[in-house]
Amino acid sequence: MNPRNFRIGILGGGQLAKMTAISARKLGFEVLTLDPSPEPPASQVAKHIRGDFRNPHDIRKFSDMCDVMVLDIENVSVEDFYASEEHIAKKLIPSPEVVIKIKDKFLQKKIVSENGVPTPRFDTFPPSKEKFDFPVVQKLRIGGYDGRGVKIVNSEKEFILDRHTYLEEFVNIKKELAVIVAIDRRGNYVVYPVVEMVFDRKANILDYLVVPARIPKDVEESAKKVALKSAQSFSSPGIFAVEMFWIGNNTVLFNEIAPRPHNSGHYTIEACYTSQFEQIVRIAVGLPLGSPELISPCVMINLLGEGEGEPYYEGLEEVLAIPGVSVHIYGKSKVFPFRKMGHITILDKDVESAIEKARFVKSKVKVKGK
């Protein structure tokens, strides 16, 4: 293989595309991105093609420039052409059929449940068969992300009267967990460590994560089994990020799955032998899967916007002087409240020490608008 003769296309040009492109360029591959923004984050490291990944015509043109395509975002338009244009469909990892299924969160839950994966009880809205006590969770089937499109409903008056939603049993969660699963074209797989996610309850967005998760060994094994079985339910190569609820004992329930690199796997850049971004590149071009083994305990913090306008980063000089701290700035031109502007990983031999460092880092680094 000559990497210079192989083009990897990424549908979307955000921070996931940027970090994927960095891994691909490290291995010598040419990278193209398709995004409607004039200067998305990935344009700093990849050849940027301005076009709409929600437009089938733009995707067709883009696919002609690429040998293989992967995702920065799953809300891409593949429904209109994948069945009739097989040569394009074969270029996309994961397969277009899987993208279509996973875009619909009700459908993804139905598929994993039919494959024996434990989930909270769920049903259409209005419910067709299940009976739910209040509170109940109402979720958008398509388009919700980073906590958007999720509502805890305490009475009938609070329902969103939208048939594009579904209902899910409200469960008492001890911890929210996530696992990255990588599956190659031959069905070989690797499973990354279980991470513990802590959310900003005001915005319902990931604030920071801890790896390895502070959970009993039997819960760790249950989470890995749920994650692997969930990913394998879709019978496609790719990177799959599986989010789960630990509700007590060793019971772990599936929450949702993403068919691409994920915020819960950013820590893998510094903390694992093979990052989730290098892994999707390996899968796309047919190279062997890399080791997901954890090198060091780690905490990852999301840098969330606190103001509006041109971003200004406070406290970087102070935290970059701390051993084990790595800062990733995504390069977005505008900041607004709770927008993901970057992330910071903190490595330490001891997970509790890493958490203490992370608290200090969080108190110092702010992303504001000016």
Architecture of domain 3-92 in CATH? 3-Layer(aba) Sandwich (3.40)
Q: CA 343, 36, 74 angle in degrees (round to 5)? A: 60
pLDDT of residue 201: 72
CA 153 to chain centre: 26
Contacts of residue 358, defined as CB under 8 A and 6 or more positions apart, other chains included, come to 208, 299, 301, 344, 346
What does the pLDDT average to over 8-12?
A: 97
**160-173 per-position pLDDT tens digit:** 878 799 999 999 99
Residue 340: pLDDT band (50, 70, 90) is: very high
Q: CA 80, 81, 83 angle in degrees (round to 5)? A: 110
**174-184 per-position pLDDT tens digit:** 999 999 999 99
Residue 146: pLDDT band (50, 70, 90) is: low
Tell the CATH topology of 175-369.
Answer: D-amino Acid Aminotransferase; Chain A, domain 1 (3.30.470)
The span from the CA of 257 to the CA of 230, in Å, is 8
The span from the CA of 261 to the CA of 369, in Å, is 28
Which residues on adjacent β-strands are paired with residue 7?
30
**193-216 per-position pLDDT tens digit:** 999 998 877 766 788 899 999 999
The span from the CA of 188 to the CA of 346, in Å, is 31
pLDDT of residue 69: 95
* pTM of the shown model: 0.95
Domain range summary for the chain, segments of one domain joined by +: 3-92, 121-169, 175-369
Q: CA 211, 217, 220 angle in degrees (round to 5)? A: 55
pLDDT of residue 86: 66
